[in-house]
Structure 1
């Protein structure tokens, strides 16, 4: 399975904010949308990613005052992305080794989606269930 299969199932919608948006507004967006991260973008360029972990870290380091700062002060600047043709196994390796839970999907220098660890797990469970069903059918017909 590939990233393309994940995006075909879940869609290509990506939630983003601009770098100068206040952290409090981004936190509200995370809560309202019930998501774990937003991309920080200037136009079509990815400047960073803001995750729940980044918010917690900013609050720990700077207290409630961090909520009045721009998202750019709390975001992760090093953004690792993947491609539509990447396999789910490759995604799991990246997410595990780099300790990321969200990866933007970039194709031809254009953002085409965002994949989360939840998306990967869901796909793997579906694959496992399909394999189990195929084995049950095979045993019934043997």
Structure 2
């Protein structure tokens, strides 16, 4: 199973903010969209990613005053990305090793989607259910 197959089911929608958006506004967007991360983009260029973990970390370090800071001060700048041809196993390894839960998908230098650990778990559960059903059908006909 590849990233492409997940995106074909999930869709290619991307939620992003510009680097100068205030952290409070980005947090509001995360809540409204019920998501755990937002891409930080300067027009179509990926500048960083802002996750719930980034927010918790910076609030702990700097207190509530940081809510007025631009997301560019808080975001993760060294963003690990993936390609549509990467496998779910490769993504799980990247996420486990890097201790993060969101991977932007890049093709030909452009962001084409975002994969979360939740997307991977959902797809794996669907695969296991399909395998179980196939095995049950096989046993019935054997």
Which TM-score applies when normalising by structure 2?
Answer: 0.99
CA displacement 1:45-89 (0-9 Å, x = unmatched): 111000000011111111000000000111001101000000011
Write the distance in 2 (CA, Å) between the matches of 1:141 and 1:112. Answer: 43
Aligned counterpart, 1:48: 48
Question: Matched residue of 2:63: which SS?
Answer: helix
Write the distance in 2 (CA, Å) between the matches of 1:8 and 1:64. Answer: 39
Unaligned runs of 5+ in 2: none
RMSD, matched Cα: 0.5
- Tell me how many residue pairs correspond in the alignment: 142
Aligned counterpart, 2:98: 98
Which runs of at least 4 in structure 1 moved beyond 3 Å after TM superposition? Answer: none
Aligned counterpart, 2:18: 18
Unaligned runs of 5+ in 1: none
Which TM-score applies when normalising by structure 1?
Answer: 0.99
Q: 1:104 offset after TM fit, Å?
A: 0.3
Pairing of 1:13-92 with structure 2 (within 5 A):
13-92=13-92
Write the distance in 1 (CA, Å) between the matches of 2:92 and 2:122. Answer: 12
